[in-house]
Structure 1
Amino acid sequence: MTAAQDQSLAELNDCVRTMWKIRAEGTQQGLHMESIEELIESYLEALGCVAANPTSAGSRRKASEWRASGQLAIEIQEPPLIFRGGQSAVLPGVFRPTKRWDIVIRDGEFLVAAIEVKSQEAKEIGNNINNRIEESLGSAFDLKTALDDGLIPRRKKQRAAAGEGERWDPWIGYLFVLEDTGNDGEYDVHKPVALDSSLFPVGAAFTGNPSYADRYKLLCERLVKRKVYSETCFLMSSKEDGALVSQPCTSATFQGFVDSLTNHVKAYLADKQLPAAH
């Protein structure tokens, strides 16, 4: 592991610890996830071509400051803005009027990316895992339907590679943090969970009574495999002081998540600078 990767992992551990600490204090309205959201935002700002929206909760630099500092690596008149939390990150839907996302990146009238950042304590999981799964599916489906219905316009590509669509689809991400209680009896997220009886045979992946942790791992794998989300990230961590984050799914790591996001943003902006194809 490189020094940069070590630093990235250390920052991730710090952010997850902060998240659990704030959540324990009873902070409402999703504010407990701000440390992780800010970490994702820092990767975008480091590109030098995306700026925090000055009206977003917790934003650290105004777009004008980025332009004045000369840190915009790609010369654009107005950089895409990051909207995090609150009313500024609300997008229209089809099956409901609106949906409040956790992070939204907007380029003028176009949507560049939308991200969900969620967490769950072990004691909540039995009653809520199906709700969480359905929420993740519904949010992405509603957003894609809104795109298809023209409620959110797609920017036309200046250069579309063979086999690609002619317009940019937004990058849609899902990051989930599950409390890891180890083998703590009642709230052990690693123990097998019996299935409800089914009128038809369940899928092969569920026949061995997978644990709640395994079910979330499978969810994050399949959300990408089935093209529901562009990328997912599945993290597990104890609430104990000094606890380290584990990443049980090799295809849903934090580094892979932010690499996919930043690569999408760079490709979008690079294409934006090209002259239109004739």
Structure 2
Amino acid sequence: MGALEVLVSDILCEAGLKKLDVRTRTALELPGYFRATKKWDLIVVSNGTLVLAMEFKSQAGKSIGNNVNNRAEEAVGSAKDIWTAFREGRFGESPAPFLGYLFLLEDRDNVKTPVANKEPYFDVDPEFRGVAQGKGKGISQYKGVSYSKRYELLCRRLVLERLYTSACFLMATNSPRTKITQPASDLTFRRFVAALRGHVVTFLGSRRE
């Protein structure tokens, strides 16, 4: 993830931000509402204005399934926390910052295999049910969707619900010749960067008015 952070930092500087204002290693704490502070992965504070805050998250290895729900709860909670702090004036009278979420998932067989849901009382969201695979006792049985699809849905819905300004979902193989894929056309790195640059241009333009 370090390489992606450096790449995004370079893009921000090319867009016109001062390198000194782009933070990726130290002084990354921002006020929260449900907690005192949260340490973000990349932030930009320019002349006392919070321009943006970003999360870079990754998941790899055989135990990916154990962390899917934790990642979702963390992403939603962090966004809710900072937006409430923004509403309460923790960042002054500045315009709304850009909130970005980038997720990198290891591309391996176990993340692309459907995983059934446990539904003892109520049906889960149809998007998580996958395709029907026959019936049992008159009730349709569903395969569920893969972990990669669950992460894709997470990223898409984080933006749909306006918790994050933009999100990016990438998959990469763990091999000497790493192959990176972008499963969803609405969550590509190109679109993510375009939204990021647009926000920076707007911010810099407002300062010149």
**How far, CA to CA, are the matches of 1:271 and 1:43 in structure 2?**
20
- Residue in 1 aligned with 2:22? 82
Gaps of 5+ in 2: 131-143
Greater relative contact order (CA < 8 Å, ≥ 6 in sequence):
2
Match of 1:178 among 97, 105, 108: 105
Q: Can you list the C-alpha shifts for 1:28-65, whole angstroms capped at 9, x where unaligned?
A: xxxxx221100001111112x21222xxxxxxxxxxxx
Q: Can you list the C-alpha shifts for 1:7-28, whole angstroms capped at 9, x where unaligned?
A: xxxxxxxxxxxxxxxxxxxxxx
**How far, CA to CA, are the matches of 1:198 and 1:117 in structure 2?**
34
Give, as a single letter, the amino acid of the residue that structure 2 aligns with 1:255: R
Find out whether 1:199 has 2:121 as its counterpart: yes
- Residue in 1 aligned with 2:166? 231
Q: TM-score w.r.t. structure 1 length? A: 0.68
Match of 2:82 among 140, 143, 149: 143
**How far, CA to CA, are the matches of 1:227 and 1:198 in structure 2?**
31
**How far, CA to CA, are the matches of 2:120 and 2:167 in structure 1?**
29
Runs of 4+ in 1 over 3 A off after TM superposition: none
Q: Can you list the C-alpha shifts for 1:63-117, whole angstroms capped at 9, x where unaligned?
A: xxxxxxxxxxxxxxxxxx111133x111011111110000001122211100000
**How far, CA to CA, are the matches of 1:210 and 1:231 in structure 2?**
23
Find out whether 1:92 has 2:31 as its counterpart: yes
- Residue in 1 aligned with 2:50? 111
- Residue in 1 aligned with 2:199? 264
Give, as a single letter, the amino acid of the residue that structure 2 aligns with 1:259: A
Give, as a single letter, the amino acid of the residue that structure 1 aligns with 2:176: D
Gaps of 5+ in 1: 1-32, 54-80, 156-167
Number of residue equivalences: 196
Deviation at 1:249, TM superposition (A): 1.1
3-state SS in 1 of match to 2:186: coil
Give, as a single letter, the amino acid of the residue that structure 1 aligns with 2:17: V
